[in-house]
Amino acid sequence: MKVGILTGGGDVPGLNSAIKAATLRLLDAGHEVIGIRRGWYGLLHLNMDDESSVQRLTMKLDRQAVRTVDRTGGTFLHTSRTNPANVKAKEVPDFLKHATVFASGLADRYDFTPHVLSVLRYLGIDALITIGGDDTLSYALRLHNEGVRIVAIPKTMDNDVRGTDYCIGFSTAITRSLDFIHNMRTCAGSHERIAVIELFGRNSGETSLVSSYLSNADRCLVAEVPFDIERLCDLLLSDKRNNPSNYAILVVSEGARPKDGSVIERGEADAYGHRKLGGIGDYISEQIKRLTGEHTMYQNVAYLMRSGAPDALDVMVSSNFGALAADLVLQGRFGRMVALQGGKYTTVPLTETGGGPRSLDVDQLYDADQYRPCIRNIEHKPMFLY
């Protein structure tokens, strides 16, 4: 067989380990492996009448190509947030402008799945391993429904893909966040301020909740629970007074929103309907100053959460996910996603991802009145709590 591998969506540490493990497993079994550059963008922009685009958007994966890739973070295949089923008119490749197919009845959006299917046939790809989060895997599910032989690997530092307790990148994101929260204590304590630390987390507050839980931050705002700014200020003032060093730490999900407002978004929506988030922490910091007169410090950790090499847990899980995905290909078990459930490696139908991203179990994990983690029953919980 010729097996394709691609990564889509935001990069996370561990992607290269998964690619390497899958590649070596398939090569050992005597098969050919090809990397698709830039995720779904690569398949959308590959022009079958232009050999240079094939060279630019694909690469042969052999032992030399993957020999050292697992030593660094990110994805050496590169990535994008392209959705070939929902391409804006201004983003249609020039060579496809004569063959637009309307998507979802919108005059400025086009579905180029027929082109993607033709490209896969042209490349001779017999099976495709897709590594991504909810958005990337939603298009993988579309291709599966079109008859493409798909195996999926879940990755996202939000850890919110359905069907698995763990996604590649989550452990490293928590490790990074924990370090930054503790490091901020020295500045906040020195200046006796309230520190507001914003973390990624569009739909799920798990990164903020687990980071707060492990760092013993004073308060935590998650994407699932709207907050009352005056109530929050009262709690933080109490935390600051009761701290011998006279400071307080607040951790905020980027998707958090006030009870009488909405999330802070900016820019144009991407191919999956998402606008950029970020800035809610700055808003909260300014509101704390206005309502309390206290000095604050605001730090948006953002991309630093997913930068650099993976930690040991992400290397282990991503390597095993990659090997397991290759095993599914070798066994002819397509339309499945590799997963961790109950601490054991397993596989689930790819259709489990069709319900959209998971959210926190607020009743079991969060005190919505006190704005802080509250793990009510640890026994039988997954390692990462949900």
> Which residues are tagged catalytic?
158
**Pairing outcome for strands 2-7 and 32-36:** parallel
**For the chain, where are the alpha helices, taking DSSP H only?**
15-28, 40-45, 51-57, 63-66, 113-123, 134-145, 170-191, 206-215, 229-242, 280-292, 312-331, 362-365
Q: How many residues does the chain have?
A: 386
Nearest CA to 14 among 67, 64, 57, 76?
Answer: 76
What would the two tokens of residue 185 be? 């204590």
* Alpha carbons 195 and 243: distance in angstroms, whole number: 13
CA distance 64 to 58: 16
> What value does the CA radius of gyration of the chain take, rounded to a whole number of Å?
22
Q: Closest Cα partner for 151 from 324, 341, 356?
A: 324
End-to-end distance of the chain based on CA atoms, in angstroms? 37
CA dihedral 194, 198, 203, 209 (to 10 degrees): -60
Question: How far is 220 from 256, CA to CA, in rounded Å?
Answer: 10
